Structure formats: C-alpha cells, structure tokens
Amino acid sequence: QFYLSHKCVHCSSASGHFVFFIIYATRSLIIQIHQFILQEDLNKKMLDGLLEFVKKSAASFWCRDDDWMSRMRASEIPTAALVLGVNMPDHTITFESMTELLHDSLTPFVASVQAKECTGNRSYVWPGIKAFFPLPLQCHLCMSVCVCHLQKSPVKSPRKRLSSSQSEFLQSPPVVVIFRDLEAFSPQVLQDFILVCSQYVHQLPLVFIFGIATSPSTIQRMLPHSVSSLLCIELFQSLSCTQHLATIIDKLFLTSKFHFKFSAKVLQVLVGIFLYHDFSVCNFIKGLQLSLLEHFHSQPLSVLCCHKQEALVHAQQLNDRDVERIQQLPSFMRYVEEQVPEEQVQLLTSSEHVKGVCQKLLKSLHKYHKNFYPALRCLHVLTSILPKYPLGKQIRELYVLCLEKKVWETQEYDSAMQLIRMLAKDELVTCLQKCVEILTFCKSKKLKKVGQQLQDITATCEKLDSDRENDSSGKGLQKTDLFHLQKTLLEMKECRRTRRKTPYEILRNAVVDYIDNLVKTHLYPPESQPLYEVWYYSSSGTVRRHLNATPRTSIQTALSHPYCYLQNDSGIISSAAPDICIIYKLHLECGRLINLYDWLEAYATVATAAEGKDPSAIEGGKVDELKHARFIRAVSELEFLGFVKSTKQKTDHVARLTWGGC
Amino acid sequence: MPDQLEHLPRLTHLLPCREAQIKTLLLLLGEPEHYSYPSIFIYGHRASGKSHVTLTLLKELKMPHVVVNCVECVSLGLLFEHVLLSLFGSSHTSLPRGPSLSDFVRLYRQLCSEDPAKQTRYIVLDHAELLRDMSANLLPGFLRLQELVEDNVTVIFLSEIVWDKFRPNTGCFEPLLLHFPDYSKVELQQILAQDSCPSYSPELYSSYISILLGVFYSVCRDLRELRHLAALNFPKFCEPLEKGEAKESDAHKLWRNIEPHLKKAMQTVYLREVSSVQWEEQQQKEEKEVGELRGLSAYTHVELPYYSKFLLIAAYLASYNPARTDRRFFLKNHGRIKKTNFLKKHEKTSNHLLGPKPFPLDRLLAIFYSVVDSRVAPTASIFSQISSLVTLQLLTQVGHDDQLDSPKYKCAVSLGFVRAIASDDLHQHALRWTADHRTLHLRHHPVGSHPTSCCLWVRCGPRAAVWEPVCVQRRGIPRQPPALDQPQLCVDCAPAWHWLR
C-alpha cells in the first residue's frame, strides 16, 4: 500500500498527469476483481462438496440413535481431507473463504487451527478452539466444559441469519475444527486431540477438516491405526495449480478487454517463478500487480492504455512533451521511416498531425488485438493435439512464441503444419468445429468470415464419409504364391506413389492453407505495431529483481563494490573502501580456517596504504589501537552477516562459512 | 465371603466372559464401609473390557467414584479439579494456578474433614500411562493416596501397558496387579452374537458372526473394531434374504455370497483406506461400478515446483551417499580412486538399511547445482523452498545448535517417492522457460570428503564454448589480490572467481 501511494504521488508530481492516478486505480481494481472471481470459481466445486459433506455429517449425527445399524457402528468423527497442493501461500485465501462460507451458511462454531499455534506441549491444541468459545471464566478449558457450554448455549444469532430451509440442522450446529496444515502438526498433539474428541463424539456433532499439502497418505503416516480408526475420512481434491495458472492466463492475458499486456520476457519471468519456485497463484497475481504499477510509473504514455474511446480522448489532450515522447518511441520511428518523405516531415514537425496519426494507430492497435487472440486460440486448438506438441501443449507457450517473433518463420511451425497435413479426419473435424466456435463468437467481421468458410469445409468433410465407404471396398490380398505376392505388392507401391489425392486430402490441404493464412495475417508479433510500447510492459529485469531477489548476490556486490550502493556522485563520502570491504576481500584469500593475527596484519597494511602512508613504516609488528578496534568491529560485522564464525578447533582462528576456500 | 459375591450372577450376565476378573475385583473391593487396598493396577490389551468392567461394577454397586481420562487432562490442575469436583461436589475448590500434588492433598484433607467417607471412594484413572509424563511425584503419590489423605479412598489405574514399565527408579508402593487377558475366539463369538439385529433371528446373526470371525480373527481381535465391521457388512449378508434368493437356512449360499466381500473389506475398510460411509455407499451401488473407489494410499503423487524437485533429489543423494563419494559422482574429472577400497567396509552395507544421514546446507546446494542443468541463481526463493520442504515434512531439520550459520537436514522421503519425482517427465513445458544467461557460467562440485572445498568449471561468457575444468586444489593457482573488475556473482561463486584471476 505504501509502495503504491508513494509511486503514485511520485508520478503525479513528476509529470503532472493526474490522469494516471485515476487510470491506475481503476486498473488495479479491475485486476483484483478479476482475480477474486477466479479464485471463487476455481475453489467453488471443492467448497460446495465440503459444505455438502458437513451438512450430511451433521444430519447423520442427529438421526444416529434410530436404527440398529448406527447403534452398532463404532462412532467415527467425520473428517474431510482436503488435498490442496504445495502452493502454501494460496491456502490462506482458501481457508478464509471456507471459514466464511461455513460460518455464514451452517454453523457459528468454526475453529481454524494452525500448527504454529500448538507446538510442543500437548495442552496447546486449545488456543485456536478457545477463540470461538466465549468462555470468560474458565482458566482450564477441557472438552467436557465445551460440551456443557454448547449444549446449554442458545444458538440464536446464526438461526436468524439462516433461511428457513436450512434451520432443520440447528438443534445444535456442528462444531467444525479446521487443521490448516496437517503436515506441520506434531503427531502426538494430533493423536491426543482426536482421542479426546472421540470421547465426546456422542454428545457433540464434531467435524474435522484436514488441510493437506502433499498427499493423503500423510494421514496414515501421522496417525496409528488405533487413532485413524476413530475417523471417517473423505477425500476432497482441489484443482492442480497449473490448471489455476492456465485459467488466469486465459482470462487475463488472452483477452482484448484487458489492455495492459506483457512482453514475452516478462511473461516468461512470471511463469518461470510460478513453475520453478512456488506454484503460488497469489504470488503470480502480486507480480502482475507490481508490473502494472511499474508500467504506469515508468511509461508516461501509458495514459493511452485504456479503453478505445477514452484513449482517443486522451490522445487528443496530449501535451507537447508527450508528443515528443511519442516521436521518440522506437516503434513510432519505424513507422515514420516507412512513410513517404512529405508525410515524414509532417510527422516530425506538426504535433497536431502526430496526434491525429496517433489516434489512428491506437485504433489499429485495438483492432489488431481483437483479431490476435481468436487466431491464437484457433492455432492452439489445432496444434495442441499434435504428437510431441511442436508449438507447446499449453496455450501460454504458443502465446509467448507469437509475442517473440513471427511464428510462421520458425521451424516448429513448419513441422506443426506438416503434422496437421497428416491428421485423421475425425480429429481434424473436431478441431475445426472448435475453431469455428471460437471464430463465430468473436466480434471482428473478418474472422467471422473465415469462420464461415471453415464451417463450410467441415460440412463438406462430413459429407465425404458416404462417398468414401464405397471407394474403400477395394481388392484385398488373395492367397497366392510368393512371386505373385511380390508383384502385387510392387504394383500397389507404384500405385500409391502416383495415386491422385483423395478429396479429403485436398480439403485438408485447403484447411491448412486457410489456417496458415489466418496466422500470417493476424499473428504477427506486437513489436511490429506502432505504439505497442503503450500497452506492453517489457522490463523483465525489474520484475525479476523485485520478485526473485538474490540477497546473497546483493550482499556480495555491496561488499566487493561498495560504490554501487553508496552512489557517491557528490564526492562527500571518502573514496577509501570501508573497513568491512577490505576485511571481506582479505578473507576471500584464506582457507577454511583464518588466523586472526595474520588477518589483522594484512588489514593494517592495506589500511595504512590507503591512508597514503608507507606500509613498511609499521614498526615491529605493532598495530595501532585505533586500527585494531576498527578491525575487530569489521570482523564482528562479517560474523553477523554470516561469513565467518568462531570455531572451537583453534582458539585464535575463525571458520569461513562460504565456499571457495581450499 | 458371600456378601460381596451376591451380585456376581447379575454382573456376569451384564459382562459376559469376564467372570474370573469380576470375582477378583469384588473380593478386592470388599465391604463398602471397610478400607480397601490403596491402589489397584488393571492392565490388558485394547478392548479387553477393563474400563467397561470396572465402571459397570462401580455403577451397579453404587459406590462413590470418579473416572478421569488422563488423555483429556492436559494439565495437573485439570486432573485435580475434576477429581475434587466429582468426589465432593463442591464448587468452592480453590486450587492455586499450576497446583502441585501437595496442594491437592491439602485440599482433599480439608474437604474430607468436612465430609468424611462412609464408603470407600474410588478414583479411576484411565490411560494411566500418561501419568508418567506429567510430574515425577504424581504416580507414587496416587499409589499411596489413602495414606496421604487418611481417608477411605482407593485409586484404580487402567492401562494397556504392564506395570514394569511404570515402576519409578526411586521405588514406590506396589499396587495390586490384575490382568485382563484377551478374549478368545469363542468368547468373541459369544459377545458379538449378543447384539443381534431385531429383524432377523439370533441364530442367523450368530452364524454371520462365525463367518466374520473366520475371516477377520487372524488380523484383528479388537472387539470394538469387529463389532463395527460386523455392522457394516451385515446388510450385504442379508441381501440374498431380502431379494428372496435364499433362506435363512441356506448357510452355504450365504457364506459364498459374503466371503469375497469380507476379504475385500479387510483390505480397505479395516485399514481405513476407505471410510465406512464410502464403503456403505459402494455396497448400495451395482456390481459394475465397484472398483472405482481408491484408497488413501493410492494418492501418493505429489506435485512439486521444478526446483523443489531437484532440491529433494539432491537432498536424497546427500542423505544416502557418503560425502566421500560426492567427488566421484558429481565430478566429471574426478581423480583416480582405487577401486579396491573405494568403499570402506562399513559403507558396504546398504545405506537404505541404515536410514538417512544428516547433511549440511552447503552440501545440499552443491549437489543441487550439479544436478540441475541450467545455471540457477541462489535466489531467496530457492532458500525458502528448502524451508517449505521442511514444513511439508519432506525434509527434516536436525540438531538445534547453530541453526543460523550451518543448519543440517535429513531427507525424509523414500526411494520410491524420489523415483516417482525424478521420472515425472520433468515438465517438458516447464523446460521451455529457461532463462537466458549471458553472464559467467559456474558449476560447483564438492571435492573430496570436505563439502566446503570445491572445484569449479569455468566458462567465460558466451564466447568460450568449451567447459574448462580447473581444479583449484591440485593446480595450486597462486594467490593474488582480488581484482576489482570482477563480474557480479553470487557469494558462492565469487570467491572461486578470485582464485582464477
């Protein structure tokens, strides 16, 4: 938040564009809303299942005493095991929404317990649960007290909130205990807790929810049979995080509604962080927001990055400095070079003309994106079924490829097209149907027309079926001697070589041509578009630096090149290297164990030389006290940073903690 | 002593197959107003009727008693409060915070003087084995509580563990021991057959129980579990009867119907692979749909981020390979190693039998860098991945000293798990996202037994095409003061760079 406001103030004061402020605010809002909807949608299925489970177990609790069956059965605590995947930063959101959902629709008694709240002693499971029992008097809370409390407590507040249809559950609502991170719990604490709860399972409608990051077999690893036999475990699986990512990319990037775009490299960095490091959707969204911020901050022309009508208005209001900026854009300069000389002069001199051209270019930019995404999707539909996925299995890979360069000039594209030329009919038809669907839903007229044509082809393709059947009932191989067989085979081979193409093959080639044409007209990379810088954020280095920080590298840089961080432009700071830097560089030369006295002497020599005195002037190995003190301070600083530590092997030595010694 | 034994027939009817134990207990308890033996220790396996017999006895004879479950009493205060509250029913018990045994005794005597015992009072401590962990003087104190409070009170301990494991080093008052043996097959049959379903004849249920015991008796003798299983599978047993395909007398037909079903139950429900609710639901479905249900252990696959996988693989290698062999395995140009005594004698036993060994963080990273193909910057997220692997219990942190400077880890996953991870198609799509690197390439290889010493292969920029192996240790490159125009490298790489300049 601070970062955001700081940047906003900075950019508004610097360029005087208050418009940024507004645009940026709305933009980030849109992202948040989008993301929110996505999260809800993605987890909805699992949460609904869970809710149903809790309802069912609560209901079965109340009709338990009726029949022989349930009287005979050992009473188990209903337990839902949620397998959520290893993306732990995202779990918080999931659990929050789950708690809210349960709280709003079923029961006021939802406790969410985290492992770090109840480590060590077995008495500490309770804090999380204590939180939702308003028990002012009890210093010792035990289950029997809970039971008494729950049975006595008039459950009024939730009943009011609920609709009448659900109130049948509420003789006493279920008590839900959520263990957020099962792996981190100590098994003993968990076992004791379950044992205690199982004593009261007849009096309390208890439901457990286990949040599991790895795999359900963890339960069996943590709980012995005597304890796990007290649970009735049902499994719920959440979507895999790669599916999550695919949805987000699909909804936020592959749409012309959302104007802020990433260049290939930035997208690669973000996706790379996701796939290589954390699988966390939350962090991905954070990265998205950060780059949005950076884009609006660093690119003044991003004022034009908004809806078409607004952008046109903004373009009309550009001031001279902004016009100058436009003229300096590489893509605009390329555009200028392509024009006839008179036009070039106009573009370089008249700001009014530039504004007009700018509007025109913005329109074409909008149009380009409107066509780009449907075409991309079509190409992906066709290439994602090919063996070995020459253009990538996921649409994001294809997208990055298209952003980087002209996709039709790549080798992979050629091989993909060749593979499409070999597709079987039914596969091709299903693909084409999907393509037609995509194309007819998009707004652009051009693409609709292509869609129409493809539909025609599909129709003819299907018609071919009947003709083909008559044709295919050719001659089979009859039983002959070896000589004849050879002859027939040779004939057949000959025949195949010179055979005319079947109607299907002709059609297939036509389809490939259509697709090829579609790709070549619509899928050229955004760099070719004038003014693309307005929409596209391309500083991958910044994003990487912010999101994938390298603390070790920074410390090392700071120690070996202090000027890099001191930024000593004004010359106020002395040019001599700080003590710790000298110490650091000297320690690099040493082995695993460093003799402190040698180190001190070396330091004294360097420091004396830096002061401009003759280092040989130190008489008799005596180091003056000031330098001694400075040395000791620097060494302890280095120890604090984790480069050296004292060792018990030799008292006057310290041990190095980094690699490179011998 | 006919007085105590007058209840025996009634109790034996209530508690079948425990006649001997009931008799002993009754004789031990004696007349209500007489002093009883100070402490009785009852032990026996799970579900052998210890608590049930004791409680029924005390209830039927209407003796004043209190039952404390030691699992539930997480603190001493809770335990004492519970005892005092139920024995004296007084609400003004004023135990101090964090009370000790002497507080309890003091308060007990105080309350007792107001309300002296007319009958023997009984304190039953269930799961008594947990008393051992609570406070050193608690168990000896409870053993001679009668003496301490000078009241007619008897403490009964119930535990699954034998008394020998309880006896403190300092010695204590020896309680009377009473063993509850396991139920025999005949006894189990007799007990289980008692709760027959009202809609069928007891004979049918009894024959069902004998079939059930035939299957399960070899693996499970727990009465509660058997009763649970009996209830779960009974509807399936009755299915032919309800459909009219068989009569109650067709024992063979019924047996043929239920036997394979029970065997399947033994593999799934009994191990809690499949929950009992799911099992019931499955029973109601048609035969065709059966077989879709997967147990908990079927889901062992864990999806991990790309580098986490490599970190885990590296951790596994570090845990199960001796550090001496790192050089041989991760270095292309390792020196000559004599084959004959390459592995020392004690190393020849399979490391998988010995279990994982701890390794320092440095070694993990060294192996990680040599296992991963591309150059990886030591970013913050690599380190946070290590700690998140620890949270997921795939790695465990060992040792508590010096966690900041040189933490040590152990790998906590099995070979099968690592194999599954390694044979994932390594995310073909993920591989496409490798970052471009124009800076210096460095690879670390630990040399020799010492994990901190390392050997490097250096390639300068994209110009030099060949990796040049340089072993710092052997070539002995002379020491020179560090040059200032060194490239920006990580802490781990930079020192090595100095050496080469």
Shortest Cα distance, chain A CAs vs residue B100, angstroms: 15
* Chain A / chain B CB contacts < 8 angstroms: 233
Distance from C-alpha of A130 to C-alpha of A142, rounded to nearest angstrom: 10
Give the number of other CB atoms < 10 A from CB of residue B202: 13
The reported pLDDT for the residue numbered B42 is 94
Tokens standing for A220?
A: 């069996």
Q: How far is CA B311 from CA B243, B317, B407, B489, in A?
A: 59, 10, 15, 21
Chain B residues whose beta carbon lies within 8 Å of the beta carbon of residue A588: 482, 494-495, 498
Find the DSSP H helices in A153-280.
157-161, 187-199, 217-222, 225-228, 241-248, 264-272
Which chain A residue's Cα is nearest to B385? A277
Distance from C-alpha of A297 to C-alpha of A9, rounded to nearest angstrom: 10
Whether A464 and A482 have beta carbons less than 8 Å apart is answered as: no
A384/B contact by beta carbon, under 8 A: no
Chain B residues whose beta carbon lies within 8 Å of the beta carbon of residue A214: 302, 392-394
Chain A residues whose beta carbon lies within 8 Å of the beta carbon of residue B454: 659-660
Which chain B residue's Cα is nearest to A116? B391
Distance from C-alpha of B225 to C-alpha of B219, rounded to nearest angstrom: 11
Share of chain B above pLDDT 90, in %: 9
Q: Indicate yes or no: CB of A142 within 8 angstroms of CB of B498.
A: no
> HEC string of A461-525?
HHHHHHHHHHHHCCCCCCCCCHHHHHHHHHHHHHHHHHCCCCHHHHHHHHHHHHHHHHHHHHCCC
Distance from C-alpha of B58 to C-alpha of B49, rounded to nearest angstrom: 14
ipTM of the complex: 0.81
The reported pLDDT for the residue numbered B180 is 92
Shortest Cα distance, chain A CAs vs residue B328, angstroms: 18
Tokens standing for A95?
A: 């659990």
> The CATH number of B3-180 is which of 1.10.3720.10, 2.60.120.200, 3.40.1160.10, 3.40.50.300?
3.40.50.300
For B197-227, the pLDDT digits (tens) are 778 888 888 888 888 888 888 888 888 888 8
Interface of B with A in 216-245 (CB under 8 A): 224-225, 227-228, 230-232, 234-235
CB-nearest partner of B427 from A231, A275, A659 = A275
Q: Indicate yes or no: CB of B495 within 8 angstroms of CB of A661.
A: yes
- The neighbouring-strand residues paired with A660 are none
B499/A contact by beta carbon, under 8 A: yes
Residue with tokens 């020998």: B164
The reported pLDDT for the residue numbered A157 is 34
Which chain B residue's Cα is nearest to A553? B490
Distance from C-alpha of A102 to C-alpha of A82, rounded to nearest angstrom: 15
Interface of B with A in 77-96 (CB under 8 A): 77-78, 81-82
Shortest Cα distance, chain A CAs vs residue B433, angstroms: 6
Shortest Cα distance, chain B CAs vs residue A236, angstroms: 11
For B269-286, the pLDDT digits (tens) are 777 777 777 777 777 665
Q: Indicate yes or no: CB of B452 within 8 angstroms of CB of A552.
A: no
Q: How far is CA B350 from CA A627, B343, B356, in A?
A: 56, 11, 11
The reported pLDDT for the residue numbered A617 is 61
Q: Indicate yes or no: CB of A549 within 8 angstroms of CB of B379.
A: yes
The reported pLDDT for the residue numbered A29 is 62
Chain B residues whose beta carbon lies within 8 Å of the beta carbon of residue A553: 377-378, 488-491
Q: Where are the domains of chain B?
A: 3-180, 186-298, 306-434, 445-500
What does DSSP say about strands A653-656 and A644-646: parallel, antiparallel, or unpaired?
Answer: antiparallel
The reported pLDDT for the residue numbered A301 is 79
Q: Residue A301: which of A268, A259, A343, A346 has the closest Cα?
A: A259
Q: Indicate yes or no: CB of A229 within 8 angstroms of CB of B225.
A: yes
Which chain B residue's Cα is nearest to A71? B231
Mutate to test the interface with B, among A214, A271, A388, A391 (most CBs of B within 10 A): A214
Residues of chain B where predicted confidence (pLDDT) is lower than 70 = 1-4, 90-93, 284-295, 297-300, 332-349, 400-405, 424-501
Give the number of other CB atoms < 10 A from CB of residue B66: 17
Residues of chain A where predicted confidence (pLDDT) is lower than 70 = 1-42, 63-67, 70-72, 74, 118-172, 465-480, 495-500, 568-575, 615-621, 659-662
Give the N- to C-terminal CA distance of chain A in Å, as an integer. 48
Interface of B with A in 371-410 (CB under 8 A): 377-382, 384-385, 388, 391-394, 402, 404-406
Q: What is the CA radius of gyration of chain B?
A: 34
B483/A contact by beta carbon, under 8 A: no
The reported pLDDT for the residue numbered B429 is 29
